[in-house]
Amino acid sequence: MSSADKNLSVFTTNDLPEIGNKKFALVVAEWNSEITGKLFQGAYDTLIKYGALPENIEKGTVPGSFELTLASHWYAQRDDIDAVIALGVVIKGETKHDEYINNAVAQGITNVSIQNNKPVIFGVLTPNSMEQAIARAGGAHGNKGDEAAMTAIKMVGLKDKILVK
């Protein structure tokens, strides 16, 4: 089945960790805010649904997706933050700007996660059109914000399981 035919935001919720004592930072790009706002809401709602406390969710905004890496690094450096979720969208245009931005952000987020030894989640849409972005931000294909939050939940649980023994 192709992605055009299904909701992509399907995930298992078996054996989720307790996250009431975990603190999450959501870093959200302002560019394409009609999309990133929905990604944020999906991530926030998912964190709350699975046990995060509202006071343990912090939001930081950046101008665009390129700036997600540095702001994520700042949050990841904080001892009180357990996971960072970077949310943005880069829509393909007439030039190759999207390829440069997407590659830089993906590599940057990976580096931030490794450097800070904590989950930093890539919740950046890389669609070919606004229609594809809408479909992945609460539309027919689910909400990538939900997926990013679930990934953060699972990763903080795995980290505790592996490193806190």
How many Å is the Cα radius of gyration of the chain?
Answer: 15
Element at 155 (helix H, strand E): helix 144-163
AA letter at 96: K
Phi, psi for residue 45 in degrees, rounded to 5: -60, -40
Q: What residues contact residue 157 under an 8 Å CB cut-off, 6+ apart?
A: 15, 16, 17, 19
Residue environment code for 55-88, b if the CB has 16+ CB neighbours within 10 A, otherwise e: ebbeeeebebbbbbbebbbebbeeeebbbbbbbb
For residues 50 and 11, the answer to whether their CB atoms sit within 8 Å is: no
Catalytically annotated residues = 97
